[in-house]
Amino acid sequence: MNQFLEQLYSDTVGFISVNTKSESGEPDIERWFSWPSERKIAEKYISIRSDEDTYVSVSIFADRQRIVQDSNPQTHVVWADADVCEPEKFELPPSIIVQTSPAHEDSEACAPRDKSGVEHCNGHYHVFWVLDKAYPAKQIQEIARRVAYAHQDDGCDLGWTLTKILRAPGTSNTKWSPAYKLPEPVFTGEVYSPEDFYKIYGEPEKTEEGQYDLGDTPEPISPTELRFLEKYVEDAGVQGLYLYAVRSGQSWSERMWRLMQELFRFGCEPQEVFYLAWNAACNKYNPVNAGKLTQQGVPIPKRKDPQGVLWREVQKAWAAFISETPTVEQDLVAEEQVAQLELLSDEERKTIAENPTFIDRFTDWCAYRSPDHCREYSHALAWGVLSCAHGNKAFLDAQYGRMPLNLWINIAGDSTRSRKTTVKNLALRVVEGFETQSLETIVLGSDVTSEKLVSTLGERDKMTSLLHIDEIQGFYQELNSRQYRIGTKERFTSLYDGSVPVVLRATQGSGNTHKASTVFNMWGVGIYDSIIKVLTRDEFLSGFMYRTTWAISPKIPYTPGSSNYLNNSDEIRADDQRYWDLVNELVDRSSRYDKDNPLPMRVSMPALVRVNQFVDKLHRFVQSSEDTALDDGIDRLRDSVVKAAALLSYHDGLDEVGELEMLVAIEQGERWFKAFQKVFRDVSGSEFSRRCDELEKFISTGQGRQRTESAIYKRFSYRTTEFETIIGTLVKQGRIRHVPKQDKWEALG
């Protein structure tokens, strides 16, 4: 591995990406290493994941983002996902050869698939040509593109962009059964310069129009292949541009340009963008649209070579994209990958793995009951179960006051395949079993008004309570209603902090006259996209949403069997012994103290040092690389992590927060931060989109679908830069246009 990484990256300074697969089956778990300073750590990280599908980036990036628009991506190799193209077929012998699948006979199926159609397969390959020095990756990706296209008929894959990741030798290809262990790479010792490739494959040049020459127009694809590509349209959020016809007054060219740019940002390659653009409703070059009117009212002509014309447009768009500098609004509205922070050392992770806790036992049981569930959910709810069992048996004795051991947890996903409700119900079942054995009442139900909740908790002094809410997006939407649940946020904030507010009402039976303390837990379950649409940045900046921890699932595609009905894995009428082991463990550990004489817990010195390091690293990360509004949420996250560590320490029989328990809690804090960062970003982007929609709607309802600029400022009270950002976005999207002589804006949609 040392020699492989050395030849791949040499001594170029920057960041490299190592990727492993998530439960979705995609290599989207990304770990960044500073190169060459973290060379040894990178080698160790790859080696301990030798049983997984592990990939490395072909480029060294200036920032911790694997994007074409990186400020200064470098590479030390030309690369090719050779697939079934055997290494000796390349015009220049590769410097590094990595075999990624086993060879097999003609009579055997070429599993898992063979895109080339070649019957005899001597295995699949990834190959690299080592360069004499580091070069700009944007320059070298054009060489990689020409190599890939030159050997396409030999079975070479067309994955040539500088963001490409390829398999690391010595790791595993789990598409095979049993998993195929990649052998050590073959090093031929060859070293090349770009000129060596130019002599054989030709030198890429920009044309006068500014596009790159990406070769001949792509060959047609089948309807099945097109349907596969069309899933990118939905995932990139450009269904409207792709599906809906261009309306009178809208620009065909602007809509097509935006469609192509958004698909490039999503990660599509030029040939994929071409296929989608050709089938898009806004493609004016498609003969079916000949005769329709342009934005200026001119009939669209029928082209002699419509696909060739569109391919040249794709090449122009690609050239603009790879030289593009991201703007503020693009950063705001585009979904960005959650930054990969490592808040624990490899040694600390090893310590955690070697010392399983209640968290592991609970998540293992959930996996036993629901093998396909998103593990983020069971990890988060394990802490929620501990809070229900032990929350009122101890408290944190902090410098700034007494802190109850409660947690608010939101679990969100995009489909039933993540098993949101299933895992929540499993956690509830454990809490209800604890209630039965301990004779305590904890679960309040799933729906309640704030008035009834306060009056109920007023009668439950020093008790732990749990409110669980399905379709949590509806609850948040009601919180924002001007006529409904007035003051609910303030009441819930008081409950989170452990105090039941005294509320006086003239109506008999309403309000609360009891001064009481509470350990109030809340679990929410909902659809991720729906939650994002109803929340705003202000709800975070006000502090309310900073109190909530998040567990979110990536999109989980359907696979055969993933939606099958299954019988209970236990024998009929037999007890689930693992379930009762969990319940009895909670009952036994909880009985050390009682609610009338809870344990005041302090954080041991090793644990205190470690959690403060955790907080400091998060603050520095957010202040240097993220929306600084996130910074205000770090201290709330710190409190949740310390609460989690205290709950686990109490469960483990300690009277103070232990170091191991703090490490386990920090591991959960790492999960919480990454999820919280994604939610905050997506809420910000969704809010920006809503504001664009509001402005477009306001303009469209004016006389003649027009509004003056002064009327817009009066209606929305925009700052100048804010107005320019929103209005500029709408113009680029072809949704509005300026009428200069009248100083008006006109809606085109």
Q: What is the mean pLDDT of residues 165-176?
A: 93
Sheet holding 744-747, edge to edge: 706-708, 744-747, 736-739
Q: Is the pLDDT of residue 391 over 90?
A: yes
Residue 331 lies in a domain: no
8 A C-beta contact, residue 331 and residue 287: no
The HSE-up count of residue 734 (CA atoms within 13 Å, CB side) is 20
Q: Do 430 and 489 lie in a common domain?
A: yes
Q: Which of 279, 296, 326 is the last residue of a domain?
A: 326
Q: What is the mean pLDDT of residues 731-737?
A: 74
As given in the structure block, the two tokens for residue 639 are: 């409190």
The verdict on whether omega for the bond into residue 371 sits within 30 degrees of 0, i.e. cis, is no
Q: What is the mean pLDDT of residues 91-102?
A: 95
Q: Do 500 and 450 lie in a common domain?
A: yes
Q: Do 282 and 414 lie in a common domain?
A: no
In this prediction, residue 735 carries a pLDDT of: 79
Sole residue written with tokens 């790159």:
212
**How sure is the predictor about 196, in pLDDT bands with cuts at 50, 70 and 90?**
very high
CATH number at residue 147: 3.30.70.1790
47-68 confidence digits (pLDDT tens): 999 999 999 999 999 888 887 7
Q: What is the mean pLDDT of residues 473-487?
A: 64
In this prediction, residue 646 carries a pLDDT of: 97
**How sure is the predictor about 45, in pLDDT bands with cuts at 50, 70 and 90?**
very high
Residue 693 lies in a domain: no
Give which of 444, 430, 375, 467 is closest to 590, Cα–Cα: 430
Q: Do 407 and 479 lie in a common domain?
A: yes
Residue 64 lies in a domain: yes
Q: Do 367 and 252 lie in a common domain?
A: no
Alpha-carbon distance of 727 to 692, in angstroms, equals 8
In this prediction, residue 105 carries a pLDDT of: 63
DSSP structural state of residue 170: T
Give me the DSSP letters along 333-357: HS--PPP----S-HHHHHHHHHS--
**How sure is the predictor about 642, in pLDDT bands with cuts at 50, 70 and 90?**
very high
Q: At what angle do helices 720-732 and 659-700 cross, to 10 degrees?
A: 70
Q: Do 188 and 227 lie in a common domain?
A: no
400-448 confidence digits (pLDDT tens): 788 999 999 999 987 666 688 889 999 999 999 999 999 999 999 887 7
Residue 338 lies in a domain: no
Alpha-carbon distance of 125 to 166, in angstroms, equals 10
Alpha-carbon distance of 379 to 352, in angstroms, equals 14
| Single-letter code of the amino acid located at 55 | Y
Alpha-carbon distance of 608 to 629, in angstroms, equals 26
Range with lowest mean pLDDT among 4-8, 384-388, 523-527, 544-548: 544-548
CATH number at residue 599: 3.40.50.300
In this prediction, residue 212 carries a pLDDT of: 55
By residue range, what is the domain housing residue 317?
Answer: 223-326
Residue that wins the pLDDT comparison between 415 and 21: 21
Q: Do 649 and 585 lie in a common domain?
A: yes
Alpha-carbon distance of 453 to 444, in angstroms, equals 9
Q: Do 597 and 727 lie in a common domain?
A: no
Residue 516 lies in a domain: yes
Range with lowest mean pLDDT among 30-34, 80-84, 107-111, 453-457: 107-111
In this prediction, residue 116 carries a pLDDT of: 47
Q: Do 289 and 375 lie in a common domain?
A: no
In this prediction, residue 113 carries a pLDDT of: 46
The verdict on whether omega for the bond into residue 606 sits within 30 degrees of 0, i.e. cis, is no
Range with lowest mean pLDDT among 559-563, 630-634, 672-676, 738-742: 559-563
In this prediction, residue 571 carries a pLDDT of: 41
As given in the structure block, the two tokens for residue 104 are: 């097999």
Alpha-carbon distance of 524 to 472, in angstroms, equals 5
- Number of residues assigned to the chain: 749
Sole residue written with tokens 């970003």:
681
Q: Which element (helix H / strand E) includes 55?
A: strand 54-57
Note the helical H segments in 391-470. 420-438, 450-458
Range with lowest mean pLDDT among 115-129, 195-209, 504-518, 572-586: 504-518
Domain count for the chain: 4
Alpha-carbon distance of 241 to 260, in angstroms, equals 10
| Single-letter code of the amino acid located at 563 | S
- Give the SS3 label for residue 417: helix
**How sure is the predictor about 720, in pLDDT bands with cuts at 50, 70 and 90?**
low
In this prediction, residue 507 carries a pLDDT of: 45
As given in the structure block, the two tokens for residue 135 are: 């070069």
8 A C-beta contact, residue 602 and residue 650: no
Range with lowest mean pLDDT among 74-78, 214-218, 392-396, 668-672: 214-218
Q: Do 169 and 236 lie in a common domain?
A: no
In this prediction, residue 691 carries a pLDDT of: 79
Q: Do 646 and 741 lie in a common domain?
A: no
Q: What is the mean pLDDT of residues 443-462?
A: 84
Residue 89 lies in a domain: yes
Q: What is the mean pLDDT of residues 32-39?
A: 92
- Give the SS3 label for residue 627: coil
Q: Is the pLDDT of residue 235 over 80?
A: no
Residue 212 lies in a domain: no
655-699 confidence digits (pLDDT tens): 999 999 999 999 999 999 988 888 887 777 676 777 788 888 899
Q: Do 351 and 279 lie in a common domain?
A: no
325-380 confidence digits (pLDDT tens): 333 333 333 334 334 567 888 899 999 999 999 999 999 999 888 887 888 999 99
Q: Is the pLDDT of residue 98 over 90?
A: yes
Residue 150 lies in a domain: yes
Q: Is the pLDDT of residue 208 over 80?
A: no
